[in-house]
Amino acid sequence: APLAGRAGVELAAEGASLRVAVGDRCFVVDRPDLQVELLFRHPAAWSADLLTMDPDLRVACSAVLPVPLPDYGINYV
């Protein structure tokens, strides 16, 4: 995503995994529930599994995550 690129965070899907990288450090998330948590919850609300991520990665992710969801209001299906 362009916003992630500006913050120096690389998000990449690799098969069923999600890779988060900043510089030479990376964190791979294999579990779908953690992938959703990583992308759509604020880092302050992450579970202990995601808090094992390198502190520099967490700080960088807090600048670009969560990914904003569109507001469809009552018409959302």
What burial letters (b/e) apply to 8-38, b meaning 16+ CB within 10 Å? ebebeeeeeebebbbeeeebebeeeeebebb
Q: What is the pLDDT of residue 20?
A: 85
Q: What digits encode the pLDDT tens for the residues 5-27?
A: 445 678 888 788 888 888 888 88
pTM of the model: 0.72
Top pLDDT among 5 and 55 is at 55
pLDDT over threshold 50, residue 2:
no
Average pLDDT in the 32-59 region?
A: 88
pLDDT band with cut points at 50, 70 and 90 for residue 1: very low
CB within 8 Å of 32: residues ≥ 6 apart:
16
